[in-house]
Amino acid sequence: MARILVVDDDLAIREMVALALEKRGHRVERADGFAAALRALREPWPDLILSDIYMPGGSGLDLLQRIREQAEPLPLILMTAKGSVETAASALRDGVFDYLAKPFDLDLMLERVQAALRIHPPAPSPEVEGPESLIIGAHPAIVEVYKAVARVAPLPVPVLVLGETGTGKELVAQALHRHGACPQGPFVPVHCGAIPDTLIESELFGHKKGAFTDAQRDRRGALVQAHGGTVFLDEVGDITPMFQVKLLRFLEDGLVLPLGAERAEPVAVRVVAATHRDLKALVTDGRFREDLYYRLAGYEIRIPPLRERLSDLGTLVAHFQQRYRLEFGLPERGQVAPEVLSLLAAHPWPGNIRELSHILRRALIEAGSLEDAGTIQRLLGTSPIPSERKDGPLSPAHFAEPFVPLEAMERMYLLAVLAHTGGNKTEAAAILGIERKTLARKLRRTEGGEVDDPEGGEP
């Protein structure tokens, strides 16, 4: 395990590279540009840096010069989408370990990282840290979420996050805050659906002592608490028509009038709202104000459900396995059993990522590992994955019902083999007896639509 600094002003690329490294067990620090990278160069030094070349404030080659001035020699791998003979020659001449042209294959990037760490092995560290809570995945739909966050986070507009229950709407809100104009300010979440109608106004706007029977003292509402930061209104689709009017007025004038107060106070706060409901349908039905909808939806971000991004399943399972292993103090165990990943891939996941997290947590509590398919099967309440019996030819009796389409079964098997190889597509293709590019094409096709392989695979 190494300490690696990833520097790139493109959030999507930065997160994909960082998550691939974290999946391999490395501890990753992120920097969105030259200045942030310099701040990250402190004791203890990272073991390796992956950096974009062209960034605001300074280039990757400038970063190399600072490394030489301030730190012990450490390997640097440069990444760029604007490569040239001159920059490559300059980089390699000045001591850069390697030079990768975007878009690059993640397997190639990981191989070059391991090569660099073999030459410059990481220093031992007594620190043990749990994995950072992040939006996890590299499916095209979730990459679009990364890009949407990067686009809108610096802008002073309200954002509406849409998605089913358990997809990670609050994580997106936290990412918007973290990458926004005031990340040092407070982040205040309010679950609107869990607060009774009689208390929601006090919760958001606050109240003065004596404003109602139980008001024993002044109370600052969530909007005032979030001044200079972000307020996250979860399940905003559940608020009543009466409170919708008051929320709309705040969004229009930025003034907070606590219950029982005579004077309103201005509040500067970023509003991020989220809901699993179809707000446009509620507007059509007259249950949600159209003007409030447009105020909240200065920009919309839709999060895909887990069933639409099953190619991320292996990464998510590895993430939660590592998190709970550290939380429970469990020893390092083997890889997730292919049968376990097949069972997980076949599940419909109505509760999405939250349900997956809950299932894996319980499995680790009960079995100590994710190697027992029986435990997962019992927790999911599903039939076993069909398998060929050794005592005779195949027949319908040898398979568990209900039957699934052949394409779905192929997807389960591909994911199981990938889990067995730890995500190594080259090794998985060898096991399957197909070309690596054919495997990539099959994975894309099973996610819903033929997509040409970027490496020039079969059409």
CATH code of residue 403 = 1.10.8.60
Is 130 among the domain residues?
no
Is 126 among the domain residues?
no
**Co-location of 176 and 76 in the same domain:** no
Looking at residue 43, its pLDDT comes to 61
**Co-location of 174 and 40 in the same domain:** no
The CA radius of gyration of the chain, in Å to the nearest whole number, is 25
Q: Which of residues 302, 322, 346 is at a domain's end?
A: 302
**Co-location of 153 and 298 in the same domain:** yes
* Helix H or strand E encompassing 255: strand 255-256
Looking at residue 120, its pLDDT comes to 72
Looking at residue 445, its pLDDT comes to 67
**Co-location of 112 and 54 in the same domain:** yes
Give the residue carrying structure tokens 């096709």: 445
Give the residue carrying structure tokens 């979420």: 145
**Co-location of 182 and 295 in the same domain:** yes
Dmax (CA) for the chain in angstroms is: 84
Order of all β-strands in the sheet with 270-275: 187-191, 230-234, 270-275, 159-162, 299-302
Pairing relation of β-strands 255-256 and 265-266? antiparallel
Q: How high is the mean pLDDT in each 10-residue block of the chain (459 residues)?
A: 85 86 84 82 79 78 71 75 52 67 82 83 47 68 88 93 94 91 90 80 83 74 91 92 90 88 88 94 93 95 93 88 84 76 89 93 88 87 48 41 58 73 73 76 60 38
Looking at residue 213, its pLDDT comes to 67
Looking at the structure of the chain, the number of domains it has is 3
**Co-location of 297 and 148 in the same domain:** yes
**Co-location of 178 and 260 in the same domain:** yes
Is 428 among the domain residues?
no
Task: State phi, psi for 387 to the nearest 5 degrees.
Answer: -145, 155
Q: Which of residues 278, 302, 326 is at a domain's end?
A: 302
Is 452 among the domain residues?
no
**Co-location of 146 and 196 in the same domain:** yes
**Co-location of 287 and 165 in the same domain:** yes
Is 450 among the domain residues?
no
Task: State phi, psi for 230 to the nearest 5 degrees.
Answer: -130, 135
Domain that holds residue 198: 140-302
329-337 contact pairs (CB < 8 A, 24+): 330/364, 330/368, 330/369, 333/368, 333/369, 333/370, 333/371, 334/369, 334/371, 335/419, 335/420, 335/422, 336/370, 336/371, 336/419, 337/370, 337/371, 337/372, 337/373, 337/419
Is 373 among the domain residues?
yes
Is 133 among the domain residues?
no
**Co-location of 113 and 150 in the same domain:** no
| Other Cβ atoms closer than 10 A to 407 | 11
Task: Return the HEC string of 60-74.
Answer: HHHHHHHHHHHCCCC
> Do the beta carbons of residue 29 and residue 325 sit within 8 Å?
no
Pairing relation of β-strands 3-7 and 270-275? unpaired
> Which domain CATH number covers 86?
3.40.50.2300
Q: Which of residues 281, 302, 323 is at a domain's end?
A: 302
The 8-class DSSP code of residue 259 comes to: B
> Which domain CATH number covers 210?
3.40.50.300
**Co-location of 39 and 186 in the same domain:** no
For the entire predicted model, the pTM comes to 0.58
**Co-location of 18 and 83 in the same domain:** yes
Tokens of 184: 């040092």
In sequence order, what are the beta bridge partners of 272? 159, 232
Task: State phi, psi for 382 to the nearest 5 degrees.
Answer: -115, 170
Is 429 among the domain residues?
no
